[in-house]
Every structure is written in C-alpha cells, then in structure tokens.
Amino acid sequence: MFDFDMLGLAPSLTEVLQKNGFKEPTPIQNQAIPLALEGHDVLGLAQTGTGKTLAFGLPLIDGLLKEPGKPAPKCAKALVLAPTRELVNQIADSLRQLTDGSKLRVATVVGGQSINRQISFLSRGTDILVATPGRLIDLMDRGAVDLSTVRQLVLDEADQMLDLGFIHALRRIAPKLGTPRQTMLFSATMPKQMEELSSAYLSNPRKVQVSPPGKAADKVTQSVHFVDKNDKPAKLREILRKDMDALTLVFSRTKHGAERLMKGLVADGFNAASIHGNKSQGQRDRAIKAFRDGTITVLVATDVAARGIDIPGVAYVVNFDLPEVPDNYVHRIGRTARAGREGEAIAFCAPDEGDLLRQIQKLMKIDIPVASGEAPSDVAGSGQRRRGGGGRRGGGGGGPRGGQGKSGKPSGPKSEAFGKPGTTGPRSRRPRRKAA
C-alpha cells in the first residue's frame, strides 16, 4: 500500500488530495492508478462504492496538467462516458473537486437540459467532457463538438451502458476519437459482452480486479422477506418505522410504480421523494440533493439511480421489486455501505419473483438469509434458512437486534399515525446524515 503523495502526481493535484482528506488509495485505486500513469489501457472491475472515479480521474487529470495548451473551440482533450445523467453529474463534481485551483475545464452534456446552453459552453472547448452517449450523439450530429483531439477515453459503468443499449452509440462515437489514445474501462460486473467491448476499444489492456464480479460490498448485510405482492406496501412501512431518521433508498421496477409508492408514503407521513425517467433533470437533481441533505429520508427510485447516487450516509437499500437483470441487484445494494461504512440491503420477494431471486443468488454465489416468510423449496439453497434477528432493521424481530435502529439503540415508541415518531425515541441518525 502506498500514499497518494508517493505516486509522482503533479504537486497541485497532490495538494488538492491532501486538502480533501485523501491519504491512502482504495484497492482499485492502488492497482489501477500506477498502470494508468504508465500509459496502459486499463480494464477495472470493482464493487460500487470502492473509489473507481478517483482511480481513473487522478491519472486523467495528471496527464492533462502536464499537457500544455488550451483546448481548441468545440474540442475536448478527454472524454468520460457514463450511462445516466446522475452518474455524469456525480463524476463531474468529483473531477471539479480534483481540478480546483487549476485552469482545467470540466463540461457535462446530458439529456433533459438545454442543448443550446451546452452548445455554447462547448464552443469554447473543454479539457474534460463528461457525457451520456445519447446527448453526445445529438451534439455530434449538430456539429457542436469535435472529438478528434480526445486522447483519453473513460467508459464508466460500462456494463450498464450495454444493458441500456448504448453499444450502438459507442460504435458511432469511437471512430471520431483521436489516435493514439489511452482508454480505461471500469465496471462492477463482467458479462460476456464486456469482453467483446474490451477487445474492441482497449489495446493490450491491463486487467485490475479487486473482487469477483457479482460480489456485494463486504459490509452490506443482506436479507429477504417472502411476501405477497399486495402485502409489500405494509411490509415496507413496518420496516421504515423502525429507523425513521435513516436514509433509505427504495427500488421499484417501473416508473409508475415508483411514483405511486412515493405518493403513498408521503400520504402516510414519511419524508419521501422519487426519481425516475418521467422526472425532469431538475426534479431529479433536487430530489437527490434533498436526500443527501436529509430533508428527504426515503428516496424511491427505478434503476436509473442504481449507479448515480454516491451518498455515504445511505443506511438501507430496500428492493421493493426485485430487478429483472441480476447484475442490477448488485448495483442497487452498492448504494449503501459506501466509503467503508456499514449498510443493510433488504429484498422483498413475491411468489412470481422466485426465479429472479434464484438468478440473483446464482450470480452472487450466496443464499440470501430469510428475514420473514417461507422460502419456496425451489428458491432456497441448502444454507438459506429463516434468520433469527433479521439484522438491524430488516428482520422479523425476536433476534438480539430486532426492533432497533441503525445505531443499535431502541427506536422509541411511535404515534398511531404512520411515520410520526414519538417524543421518547432518540434520533441518532440526524448528526450522521448532516455529516454525509
């Protein structure tokens, strides 16, 4: 293990790292950064929440700081592609933090925002362009961006780009990039298509893998409730009331389902918001900010947010609906237990979702412990049994920690109204949420 200041980075970049409290690299950073600094193409596989942005961001910025000259109009020196608007904004925020005090410019282009404003910004050129593939194609078609000067390409969460059908966009973008160039591809999983993508866009890449594909973060406690579909809303409210102040991310399979679930929670007194494809970018940004700030404690989302939320304070992830793509389960629960913290992932499994659960367990090579209900014989593995305590929040009670909040303290009595905390229960999550 080495410290960041031993890497030979530009002095200004080292100072920014020290200023922001970065001292030792994470495992993915430890392996990927030296290879990238040497100019190799990098294929990085790591769980979500392990610091992949810094793993590609540091060598990318270091190279740009050592490269003289301003970007030409409409041009970019480096391109970072990500599958969702939220992830693009998150990456850009991190890169701007690292380029603070330098002359490097970071621009974002995503759908749902004024394309004319993006055209205006790009007309001056930018050092780093962070984009979703769809909007970038729109700008290319309008002649608003010239990618021929791009010498560094990053594909972040590349497996989700494949899931969302962006492979055709990548095939249009890649020929427009400058050569030679360095390419870094990062992902949490490694489906078969990823090998094809790697061979098409990377040249003799160095593979970096810090955990097996499909493995959840070590500090995530998982559980599953076997429950009828119509009983899911009541079970969710029961779970939420056990730790009212904790930040909880709830995943729904559909946009309409997410909106309906959110409105029901609000009507029952919970501080809830939703983000999904029917929301404008402004609405999504405001909801995430309120969630980050703690104004909203329950955020209901579709998979559009599975990889776009980097909030260390998320204590719980609830899979209200199991995802149809098993890999998405890994990405969803990766929204908790970030930055070395602990977290809990709770799944609901209705009778018609048994096959989805089997696929998830096959991918992760585990039997998720049962918190309540009975696992059908064709779902449960040899190690899947009813769990006694059920974790900190998700269990059915009766265990050593049943009925306790994230802090491990009794939650205190609640009033009869849904979500209205009583006056005697501690609100231990409040200070931590503000710190996040």
Q: For residues 188 and 47, is the Cβ–Cβ distance under 8 A?
A: yes
**205-214: average pLDDT:** 77
* Burial of 416: CB neighbours in 10 Å, binned 0-12, 13-18, 19+: exposed
Q: What is the largest CA-CA distance in the chain?
A: 66
Which among 156, 321, 203 has a CA at the least distance from the CA of 252? 321
Task: Assess whether pLDDT exceeds 90 at residue 84.
Answer: no
**pTM of the predicted model as reported, rounded to 2 decimal places:** 0.68
Band of residue 380 on the pLDDT scale cut at 50, 70, 90: low
| Paired strand residues for 225 | 348, 372
Band of residue 334 on the pLDDT scale cut at 50, 70, 90: confident
Q: Which stretch of 184-188, 217-221, 427-431 has the lowest confidence by average pLDDT?
A: 427-431
Q: Distance between CA atoms of 339 and 356, rounded to whole angstroms?
A: 29
Task: Assess whether pLDDT exceeds 90 at residue 377.
Answer: no
Beta strands in 94-193 (DSSP E): 106-109, 126-131, 152-156, 182-187
Token readout for 208 is 């970096």
Domains belonging to the chain, first-starting first, are 4-209 (3.40.50.300), 220-435 (3.40.50.300)
CA 84 to centroid of chain Cα atoms: 10
| More reliable by pLDDT, 28 or 9 | 28
| More reliable by pLDDT, 369 or 25 | 369
Number of helices and strands (H, E) in the chain?
15, 14
